Structure 1
Amino acid sequence: MLENTLPQLEQLIEQIIDKNTQLKNQIAELEQQKSLLVDENEMLQLEALEGEEKQKQTSNVLTSLLDKLQSVEELS
């Protein structure tokens, strides 16, 4: 029985080591993907903030133009 058990144990240990190596590689890949996604998310947030700022500026310009038009109309 011991003659059968030892090779089985060696095989199981080898399989566990292989699986552990695969999981470590998978973790490294996922950490790299996470890092890229964090960078992309930060960039998208900055773009959104810039877009909001441009929208506010455009709204202010349009409001100013509308006020000027209304002033001219009132004078006429």
Structure 2
Amino acid sequence: MLENTLPQLEQLIEDIIEKNNQLKNQVAELEQQKTVLIDENETLQLEALEGEEKQKQTNDVLTNLLGKLQSA
């Protein structure tokens, strides 16, 4: 019985070690993807803020122009 159990145990340990290495690699890849997505998110947030600022400036210009037209 021990003759069969020991090789099975060794195989299971090797399988677990291999799976652990695969999971470590997967975690590393996901960390890299996370970093890229964080950078992209920050860029998109900055672009959105810039867009809002431009929209506000445009709105102010249009409001001024409308005021000038109404007073003329």
How does the TM-score come out when normalised to structure 1? 0.94
For each residue in 1:30-53, what CA deviation from the matched residue of structure 2 results, as whole angstroms up to 9, or x when unmatched?
000000000000000000000000
Amino acid in the other structure paired with 1:14: E
**How many Å apart are 1:27 and its aligned residue?**
0.1
**How many Å apart are 1:66 and its aligned residue?**
0.2
**How many Å apart are 1:9 and its aligned residue?**
0.3
How does the TM-score come out when normalised to structure 2? 0.99
- Distance between the aligned counterparts of 2:53 and 2:13, measured in 1? 59
Amino acid in the other structure paired with 1:42: E
Unaligned runs of 5+ in 2: none
Amino acid in the other structure paired with 2:55: Q
Amino acid in the other structure paired with 1:49: L
Matched, 1:52 2:43: no
RMSD of Structure 2 on Structure 1 (CA): 0.3
Residue-pair matches, total: 72
- Distance between the aligned counterparts of 2:3 and 2:69, measured in 1? 98
**How many Å apart are 1:24 and its aligned residue?**
0.1
1:69 corresponds to which residue? 69
Name the larger-Rg structure.
1
Percent of aligned pairs with the same amino acid: 82
1:28 corresponds to which residue? 28
After TM superposition, where is structure 1 displaced by more than 6 Å over at least 4 residues in a row?
A: none
